[in-house]
Amino acid sequence: MVSTRATTDRTITEWLYRYVLFPIGQMLVFIVGAGVVVMVLAYLLAFLFPEPRPNIVLVDQINRQLPGMLIAGVSLGFVYAMIALGYTLVYGVLKFINFAHSEIFMFGSVIGYEVMRRISDAGAIQSWSPPLLIIVVVSVSMVCAGLLAVLIERVAYRPLRGAPRLVPLISAIGVSLLLTDAVRAIEAITRNEFNLTYPTNDLAWLKTPLPLAFGETTVNVRITSIIIIIGAVLMLVAMNYFVNGTKLGRGIRAVSQDMTTASLMGINVNFMISLTFFVGGSFGGAAGSLFGMNVGTVTPYVGFTPGIKAFTAAVLGGIGNVTGALLGGLALGMIESFLNGILVYFPALGQRYTDIFSFSVLILILIFRPSGLLGERVDEKV
Amino acid sequence: MTTAQSTPTIKISLMGRIMAPIRAVLDNPVLAVPALIVYMIAVTLILLGLNRSDPLFPLKSSLAFPPLVLSPFIVLSAKIDWRFKGLLVLAALFIFLPLIGMYDSSYFELVIQICIFSGLALGLNIVVGFAGLLDLGYVAFFAVGAYLWAMFTSPVDTYFKVNNMLVSANYFYLFIFLGVAVAATGGILLGLPVLRLRGDYLAIVTLGFGEVIRVLAVNFNSPTNFTNGSQGLDGVLRPTVPPFIPDIIMRVDQTLGIPISNANTLAQQMLFYLVAIVIIACIIVIARRLDDSPIGRAWTAIREDEVAAIAMGVPLVRMKLMAFAMGASFAGAIGVLYAAKQSFVSPESFSLNQSIGILAMVIVGGIGGIRGALFGACVVTLLNLQVLKNLSLQINNFKNIDAVMPPWLVAVILAVVGGWILWKLLKALWSFANRWFGNAKQAEQVRVVVWGVLVAAIALLTLQGSGFRFDDWPAQLEPAKYERLVFGILLIMMMIFRPSGLLPEPRRKMEMTAAKAEAEDGAIGGGG
Amino acid sequence: MRNKRFAVLVLVVVLALALSATFVGAQDAKVIKIASQTPLSGPQSALGSSMSNGVALAVEQLSGPLTELGYKVEYVPFDDQATPDVGVANAQNLVNDPAILAVVGHLNSGVAIPSSEVYNANNLVMISPANTNPRVTGRGFTTVNRVCGRDDLQGPTGARFVNELGAKSVYVLHDTTSYGQGVAEFFQKEAENLGITVLGYEGTTETANFEGVIQPILALAPEAIYFGGIYSQTGIFINQARAAGYTGYFVGPDGFDSSEFAQLAGEAGVNTYYTSVAGPATIYPDAAKFIEDYKAKFGEDPQPFAAQSYDSAAIALNAIYTAAVLAGDVPSRAAVASVVRATKGYKGLTGTVTFDAYGDNEVGLYYVLQVGSADPAAWGSNTLLKTLEIPSPYKALLDSGS
């Protein structure tokens, strides 16, 4: 995710390093870094408040919870990161917040449900091999969500190009209202309900948690969390290659740096913008279907909270910055998971203050780094 | 690309052609005044003549009421002496609207809500429109004002009740000023840490702030009960009605013979209406003065180019804080009014959607303009609370009286909607085909074919169809469920066809045209 | 050019709509309308639409007597969008329609409380199927009634049941809505009175991914979890909590009472306990018929509060009938309101309704049920464990006063 000039005479090892090892290593660094920060914070708190409530020894609780908290944080963080990528890519190119992106995420999760439900209704879900099933579900929702994003851009944003920045924002809000209720109408007519439950309850391989031992404590890791993590890593690597290693990706980067100059260089700006929406949308869709498999039930209104959180993550990392979206997502997931696990033990606080603390952390970070953790890559037009 | 660009201009010119005669009357200084008086009286009489037992009441009401509410804007757009303008606007505000309100209290409720949202839109307009700071948590200041009054008057067992700190209803007017002060302080407190942030970073922080205030309102019921949590504070006091209001109502009742069913509620509503009008008048005066002052120009400078503004010596910190505080203070005052009017305050009223709704009003109306913000608030509130509600009620009425839509109408609607979609699809397909074969002539043939099919379809359906029974309307598609969907579509269309807002500010319009030309230059080079 | 033609077409359509509509004939019968106000759009619309459907079904099935008297009964659904502003605007709109004689609603107490002020000022009776907030009826309004339970009774009922289960520690969750938080608060108080250790009291707005919420629960290992919330959230939570390895009891309020709970929670939901004011279909045969009719008409299972909405509308229709017979004409709103308040021993789908002077059901019957199967179709055969008769807290007040 470092922008490097593509060279024609690269060797396989270089290629491997640049597009596989480096991004994975970067992710590992982020995960480990965030994990270490969380651990230090947790034990610092335990040191400061050894017994926040009677009969609760914070160190013991942390020892018991930490592995679970970290895994939850990572899987949550990857979901945020994947949605945040959609915000960030579009922001990079068009410099506006695509508020409808949360509905593209929702659409992906609904498509995921439709695919899985259809396979299940055909009676085939048990006989499909797990990886095949997941790949089919995720890729169909990726394509559908990507196409929807392209369509939205064509209908609701393209006519507004050149208008003040807030105008497409309101159009996006309109799209968001339209999409939730349109999906609801379609599901209400075809299925008579819109609480859509993934047919995962009978899939033993998906439902049986994987017990992992960390010292004395055993954590039941849900398979879906692992799927999310693996899926997200694979897709992020592919995305890194696409943006930094292909001609099309270079086109997107060129457009995001300077639309006019890019068009003078013979780049089809409209195509590149559509492509950006497709890529961002399909990541939203993939996140949606993975999220759906993980939580089991989705509704047309499911996009709102993850959408806002992912938007926060994109800003936290530095909006417009692709690596920033990844870091922001992971950081936010970790912070949330940590706060959810710790705040419970403090009287008069509690999980209900998680969002407040998350936002305080965000504001603190932004005070010291006004353009996000990794900064904007977008140049300011002066 | 080119069609998308040229469509709006054609639309506007078409609108212009329809509006031309009206415009001509409004521009005529002799004709305009009597025409406007006749217009307002006519609309009022139509509204007074409507009858709730008429199955078409919702449709008629939603066609007749907005023209009356929007009549002040029509007056303002006329080219007449400002004294006449003032008199006509005052007549609309203090004679025609209250008259309709007395006749049917639901109109009064609507007008009061429009006033409340207008106040909020004006306040947000200062932050977003004047200073260019995107605020997605504006509703927080509104909540601060509302909770301020509610906490000091609600009989629920809160900290204030337990410690005998409740105040009487007479303090209401004082609390409006307190609301201004407290909300302004809140604005400064929020502004201080986030001043270095720009654009969308500010947006997310304000969004967070809005949520924080809401979450605090939900949670500040333990260990000490301040807000009564999600249960909300009920029984919030309303100001006492001064005796002149019932007198006026009585007199109107006697002279005009409007049947008044609930004089107490009416007097209460009248009071809130007057207070709201006064507050909004103050806000408008302050906003106008600010816009024309050095402060206003400093805000414009910050909005247009922060770096250049600093270079020219604009005190960035002070000016941004000022914008936050001014915007917040208006919301605080309106919040106090809102709490008293609802007599109940709970966190549900202060969601993110509310903030977004207010932002939509500012932008739909035309960002940066006072008249635009007011117009946007009127249009969005009317759409949301009156027009869309009435449309679904109308369809429900049709269902109840078992109405049948005649076959020719079904045919026309189907043909227009279906034809339009078909047309768009074919056009897209054809432009694609053109690019492949380089043949442009066939587009004309397709057009002929499409129109032929449409006419044939209409004829066929008219002769063969049996019409549409409203009773067959599927329960899943009950119109009341899809008001928000329609609202979403309208938002998109308003933005596409009037990107600079319904009543754009002249200066903003100029910027818009310049930006557009620039964008077109870029696109023509790239898109082709 | 094209656009002009299109615009002309649209104009023609609008004109035609207006014209064709005027051909609709005037009505001969006197019209009586029943309105409902529930959230029909937005995240809470699953419950709100189902409530509206319940009223529609009642109007369809039970307006016979009024039709025989020569009246035409119509149903008018309103969408309050779960927002107080919209609710109040709707309320003003519907009190101005003289044909509307009763309102069934709302789902959210936050909308019901300000809207009921408007109803009360206009003597329009409101019967609430779902507002469990104690403050809804406690304000001395003669027109506000409810057929559902109260948070300050249902919560403690749950706590007493947890005590009977023998659980010594409990973790309380709520959904931060007025309903969930209200019932959870009263649960917590009663649990502490009974000597149960409350290990945590948490609100969560999370509706999908509960991993963060579950971690501390696992570490604290409470014997029971009480979740004040609606099935669409709690079902998912229970599913995920079991998968993460939680083994204790799940207890909840009547927001759990939906066949969809079984679908969402799957096997994890079996043996979950919930308290409810709505009797199970097994002991109320009418309820079974209601579910059948509802499914036949709307193609889905009724959600929580749908049966209560049906009952509310039924009580309203009964009262209008009685008042109409007394008046010999379309009754006044005040007359309908006083007849509703005087309702005694009305046998509804969910139990017997007798309103006290405050508009609460005089003696609330609270049932404790246990989910028997992960099959949504078997929801009606959930095991009834206990039936508790709890008088409304105002009853003692009234008895001592009179």
Which of A102, A154, A155, A359 best tests the B interface by mutation, with the highest count of B CBs <10 A? A359
- C-proximal residues of A, 334-353, CB under 8 Å: 336-337, 339-342, 344-345, 350-352
Q: Which chains touch B (3 or more CB pairs under 8 A)?
A: A, C
Note the CATH architecture for domain A12-368: Orthogonal Bundle (1.10)
User: What is the topology classification, in CATH, of domain C151-276+365-400?
Assistant: Rossmann fold (3.40.50)
Q: Which of A52, B137, A297, B222 is nearest to C203 (CA)?
A: B222
When pLDDT is averaged across residues A258-274 and rounded to a whole number, the result is 89
Which pLDDT band, with edges at 50, 70 and 90, does A243 fall under?
Answer: confident
Phi, psi (rounded to 5 degrees) for B81: -60, 140
Which pLDDT band, with edges at 50, 70 and 90, does B1 fall under?
Answer: very low
- Yes or no, beta carbons of B59 and C21 under 8 Å apart: yes
**Three-class secondary structure of residue C227 per DSSP:** strand
Which pLDDT band, with edges at 50, 70 and 90, does A244 fall under?
Answer: confident
pLDDT at B323: 92
When pLDDT is averaged across residues A135-162 and rounded to a whole number, the result is 92
Chain C's closest residue to A180, CA to CA, is: C42
- Yes or no, beta carbons of A270 and B1 under 8 Å apart: yes
With beta carbons under 8 A apart, name residues in chain A contacting B485. 177-178, 181-182, 185
**Does C166 reach chain A within 8 Å, measured CB to CB?**
no
Q: CB atoms < 10 A from the CB of B279, how many? A: 22
- Which amino acid belongs to residue B27? D
- Yes or no, beta carbons of A296 and C239 under 8 Å apart: yes
Phi, psi (rounded to 5 degrees) for A368: -85, -30
SS3 content of chain B, % helix, strand, coil (to 5): 80, 0, 20
Task: Provide the number of CB pairs (under 8 Å) joining chain B to chain C.
Answer: 167
Residues A181 and B482 sit within 8 Å (Cβ to Cβ)? yes
pLDDT at B13: 56
Phi, psi (rounded to 5 degrees) for C206: -60, 135
pLDDT at A379: 44
Whole-angstrom distance, CA of residue C356 vs CA of residue C341: 7
pLDDT at B9: 47
**pLDDT, tens digit, for every residue of B298-349?**
998 988 888 888 898 888 888 989 999 999 999 999 999 999 998 899 888 8
- Which amino acid belongs to residue C369? L
Which pLDDT band, with edges at 50, 70 and 90, does B442 fall under?
Answer: low
Question: By percentage, how much of chain A surpasses pLDDT 90?
Answer: 26
- Yes or no, beta carbons of A359 and B476 under 8 Å apart: no
pLDDT at A54: 73
pLDDT at B515: 57
pLDDT at A16: 86
Assigned token pair, A25: 């290593």
**Cα distance from B295 to chain C (closest Cα, Å)?**
35
> b/e for B237-275, b at 16 or more Cβ within 10 A?
bbbebeeebbeebeebbeeeeeebebeebbbbbbbbbbb
Whole-angstrom distance, CA of residue C8 vs CA of residue C4: 6
Residues A165 and B511 sit within 8 Å (Cβ to Cβ)? no
Note the CATH architecture for domain C30-148+285-361: 3-Layer(aba) Sandwich (3.40)
With beta carbons under 8 A apart, name residues in chain C contacting B46. none
pLDDT at A101: 94
Residue C285 burial by Cβ neighbours in a 10 Å radius (0-12, 13-18, 19+): exposed
Task: Give the lowest-confidence range in A177-186, A346-355, C214-223, C255-264.
Answer: A346-355
Identify the sign of the CA torsion C39, C40, C42, C43: positive
**pLDDT, tens digit, for every residue of C82-126?**
888 899 999 998 898 889 999 998 888 889 999 998 999 889 999
**Three-class secondary structure of residue C34 per DSSP:** strand
Residue B223: is the preceding peptide bond cis (ω within 30°)?
yes
Residue B31 burial by Cβ neighbours in a 10 Å radius (0-12, 13-18, 19+): middle
Residues C262 and C379 sit within 8 Å (Cβ to Cβ)? yes
Residues C208 and A297 sit within 8 Å (Cβ to Cβ)? yes
The angle formed by the CA atoms of residues B267, B271 and B277, to the nearest 5 degrees, is 140
Chain C's closest residue to A353, CA to CA, is: C203
The greatest distance separating any two alpha carbons of chain C, rounded to the nearest whole angstrom, comes to 81
Whole-angstrom distance, CA of residue C203 vs CA of residue C172: 9
Task: Give the lowest-confidence range in A318-332, B5-19, B48-62.
Answer: B5-19
Between these two residues, B374 and C42, which has the higher pLDDT value?
A: B374
pLDDT in tens, chain C (402 residues): 444 555 555 555 555 555 554 445 445 568 899 999 999 888 788 888 889 999 999 999 998 999 999 898 999 999 988 888 899 999 998 898 889 999 998 888 889 999 998 999 889 999 999 888 888 888 888 999 998 888 888 889 999 999 988 899 999 999 888 888 889 989 999 999 999 999 888 888 887 778 888 888 888 889 999 999 888 889 889 988 988 888 899 999 988 888 888 888 888 888 899 988 777 766 777 888 898 899 898 888 888 888 889 999 999 999 999 999 998 888 999 999 999 999 888 888 888 888 988 888 887 778 888 988 888 878 877 888 888 887 777 766 666 544
- Whether residue B49 is predicted with pLDDT greater than 50 in this model: the reply is yes
pLDDT at B5: 42
Assigned token pair, B228: 């009564």
**Three-class secondary structure of residue A128 per DSSP:** coil
Whole-angstrom distance, CA of residue A153 vs CA of residue A164: 16
- Whether residue B415 is predicted with pLDDT greater than 50 in this model: the reply is yes
Between these two residues, B13 and B31, which has the higher pLDDT value?
A: B31
Assigned token pair, B105: 């209290």
pLDDT at C398: 61
- Whether residue A51 is predicted with pLDDT greater than 90 in this model: the reply is no
Phi, psi (rounded to 5 degrees) for C276: -155, 150
Identify the sign of the CA torsion C145, C151, C155, C156: negative
CA dist list (Å): C3 to B10, B500, B502: 8, 21, 20
**Does A361 reach chain B within 8 Å, measured CB to CB?**
no
Residues C187 and C159 sit within 8 Å (Cβ to Cβ)? yes
When pLDDT is averaged across residues B79-102 and rounded to a whole number, the result is 90
Most confident of the ranges B116-130, B429-443, C230-244 = B116-130
**pLDDT, tens digit, for every residue of B286-310?**
999 998 899 999 998 988 888 888 8
Q: Which chains touch A (3 or more CB pairs under 8 A)?
A: B, C
Q: Which of C227, C268, C264 is nearest to C244 (CA)?
A: C268
Q: Which residues are CB-neighbours of C148 under 8 A, at least 6 positions away?
A: C128, C129, C130, C131, C132, C254, C277, C305, C308
- Yes or no, beta carbons of B342 and C76 under 8 Å apart: no
Whole-angstrom distance, CA of residue C169 vs CA of residue C163: 9
Whole-angstrom distance, CA of residue A176 vs CA of residue B489: 10
Chain C's closest residue to B381, CA to CA, is: C86
What's the number of CA atoms in the CB half-sphere (13 Å) around residue A144? Answer: 24
Whole-angstrom distance, CA of residue A328 vs CA of residue A351: 21
Residue C174: is the preceding peptide bond cis (ω within 30°)?
no
Phi, psi (rounded to 5 degrees) for C171: -120, 125
- Whether residue B474 is predicted with pLDDT greater than 70 in this model: the reply is yes
* H or E element, residue A166: helix A166-191
- Yes or no, beta carbons of A174 and B356 under 8 Å apart: no
Beta strand residue intervals within A122-161, DSSP E: none
pLDDT at B509: 58
When pLDDT is averaged across residues A334-343 and rounded to a whole number, the result is 86
* H or E element, residue C364: strand C363-370
> b/e for C328-357, b at 16 or more Cβ within 10 A?
eebbebebbbbbbbebeebebbbbebebbb
The span from the first CA to the last CA of chain B, in angstroms, equals 8
Residues B234 and C113 sit within 8 Å (Cβ to Cβ)? yes
Whole-angstrom distance, CA of residue C349 vs CA of residue C330: 27
When pLDDT is averaged across residues A342-368 and rounded to a whole number, the result is 81
DSSP string of B400-459, one letter each residue = HTT-EE-HHHHHHHHHHHHHHHHHHHHHHHHHHHHHHH---THHHHHHHHHHHHHHHHHH
Task: Give the lowest-confidence range in A126-130, B243-247, B358-362, B511-515.
Answer: B511-515
**Does C113 reach chain B within 8 Å, measured CB to CB?**
yes
> b/e for C1-35, b at 16 or more Cβ within 10 A?
eeeeeebebeeebeebbeebbeebeeeeeebbbbb
Whole-angstrom distance, CA of residue B58 vs CA of residue B64: 10
pLDDT at C341: 92
Q: Which of B66, B106, B67, B119 is nearest to B382 (CA)?
A: B66
Between these two residues, B526 and C4, which has the higher pLDDT value?
A: C4
- Whether residue A260 is predicted with pLDDT greater than 70 in this model: the reply is yes
Whole-angstrom distance, CA of residue B425 vs CA of residue B417: 12
- Whether residue B505 is predicted with pLDDT greater than 80 in this model: the reply is no
- Yes or no, beta carbons of C181 and B483 under 8 Å apart: no
The rounded mean pLDDT for chain B is: 84
Gyration radius of chain C's alpha carbons: 23
Locate the domains of chain C by residue range: 30-148+285-361, 151-276+365-400
